[in-house]
């Protein structure tokens, strides 16, 4: 499977500069969607096969158990017959055991093959799961990028009339900055107004004129102490 970015790049190169506004052609998305459908179908098939094989495997497991029990019974029997010196029946039983051992071997081989098939199918299903998710993600990214593209055009039209090209970003930036400055100025003058109405402005003027003194500061406190010191000495 081609990587997502490679796919997008291939689609993009085909579009390029001459077709304004088109990000990826509908054909590209259709191909991706078809890939998802194929992968999903393959997965459904794999899941059905898995169910079938698992049923067969269970059946075969029971069969192997049965054959082993059978074999164990004949094993017991042949021991008893030999103890009783019943050579003829023991020979017949031995032949039966040979037959069953061949059956068991075949059955075990089939069982192993079923187990292998189950593992394979499970891996296939897991992998196709991952593939489907990756493909669906591809489609959603392509679609949302396409939407952003369309949105950009929409915005362009909104701000520049019917013209499809965006209005100058430089002009827009300038306008935004002016708007911000205006806002700042407004806030400043509002603060100024507040200051004046609350009388702080008058107080500031009086302090500057030296009519009233500023609130206590480090220097004035130091001087106060020095003055007190001079008195005591």
Partner 1 sequence: MLQILERVHNAVNKHITSDGTQFRSNIDVTSETPMLMVIREDREEFPILVTASIDQILCNTVLFDEKQIKETRQIEINEMMLQLNMAMPLSSFAKTGQYYSVFGALATESIDKNILLEIEMLSDNVIDALEVMNPFLI
Total residues contacting partner 1 by CB under 8 A comes to 37
Q: What is the DSSP letter of 84?
A: T
- The answer to whether 139 and 32 have CB atoms below 8 angstroms apart is yes
Note whether 146 binds partner 1 by CB under 8 A. Answer: yes
Of the candidates 34, 165, 181, 208, which one interacts with partner 1 according to CB under 8 A? 165
Of the candidates 148, 202, 221, 222, which one interacts with partner 1 according to CB under 8 A? 148
- The answer to whether 111 and 33 have CB atoms below 8 angstroms apart is no
Q: Which is nearer to partner 1, 119 or 181 (CB)?
A: 181
The SS3 assignment for 222 reads helix
Note whether 130 binds partner 1 by CB under 8 A. Answer: no
In sequence order, what are the residues at sequence separation of 6 or more whose Cβ sits closer than 8 angstroms to the Cβ of residue 10?
2
Helices (H), the chain: 4-15, 26-83, 87-160, 169-197, 200-209, 218-232
Minimum distance, C-beta of residue 197 to partner 1, in the bound complex (Å): 22
Cα separation of 138 and 109, whole Å? Answer: 43
Note whether 23 binds partner 1 by CB under 8 A. Answer: yes
Note whether 20 binds partner 1 by CB under 8 A. Answer: yes
- The answer to whether 213 and 207 have CB atoms below 8 angstroms apart is yes
Note whether 140 binds partner 1 by CB under 8 A. Answer: yes
Cα separation of 167 and 169, whole Å? Answer: 6
Of the candidates 63, 104, 166, 203, which one interacts with partner 1 according to CB under 8 A? 166
Minimum distance, C-beta of residue 147 to partner 1, in the bound complex (Å): 4
Note whether 183 binds partner 1 by CB under 8 A. Answer: yes
In sequence order, what are the residues at sequence separation of 6 or more whose Cβ sits closer than 8 angstroms to the Cβ of residue 172?
159
Of the candidates 176, 190, 194, 206, which one interacts with partner 1 according to CB under 8 A? 176
Note whether 180 binds partner 1 by CB under 8 A. Answer: yes
Note whether 137 binds partner 1 by CB under 8 A. Answer: yes
Span of 13-21, 44-52, 119-127, 223-231 interacting with partner 1 by CB under 8 A:
13-21
CA distances from 200 to 162, 190, 191 (A): 54, 14, 11
Give the chain's length: 233
Of the candidates 168, 181, 189, 220, which one interacts with partner 1 according to CB under 8 A? 168
Minimum distance, C-beta of residue 192 to partner 1, in the bound complex (Å): 19
Cα separation of 74 and 96, whole Å? Answer: 8
Site residues, partner 1 (CB under 8 A): 15, 17, 20-23, 136-137, 140-141, 143-152, 154-156, 159, 165-170, 172-173, 175-176, 179-180, 183
């Amino acid at each position: 499977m081609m990587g997502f970015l490679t796919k997008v790049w291939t689609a993009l190169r085909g579009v390029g500069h001459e077709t304004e506004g088109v990000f990826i052609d509908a054909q590209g998305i259709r191909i991706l969607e078809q890939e998802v459908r194929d992968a999903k179908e393959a997965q459904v098939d794999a899941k059905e096969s898995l169910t079938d094989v698992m049923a067969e495997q269970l059946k075969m497991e029971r069969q192997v158990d049965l054959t082993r029990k059978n074999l164990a019974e004949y094993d017991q029997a042949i021991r008893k017959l030999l103890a009783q010196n019943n050579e003829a029946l023991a020979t017949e039983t031995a032949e039966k055991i040979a037959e069953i051992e061949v059956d068991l071997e075949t059955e075990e081989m089939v069982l192993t093959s079923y187990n292998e098939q189950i593992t394979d199918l499970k891996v296939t299903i897991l992998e196709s799961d991952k593939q489907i998710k990756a493909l669906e993600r591809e489609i959603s990214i392509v679609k949302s990028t396409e939407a952003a593209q369309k949105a950009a055009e929409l915005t362009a039209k909104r701000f520049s009339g019917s013209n499809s090209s965006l209005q100058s970003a430089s002009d827009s930036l300038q306008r935004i900055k002016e708007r911000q400055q205006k806002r700042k100025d407004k806030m400043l003058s509002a603060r100024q107004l507040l200051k004046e109405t609350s009388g702080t402005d008058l107080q500031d003027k009086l302090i500057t004129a030296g009519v009233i003194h500023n609130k206590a500061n480090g220097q004035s406190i130091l001087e106060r102490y020095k003055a007190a010191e001079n008195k005591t000495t």
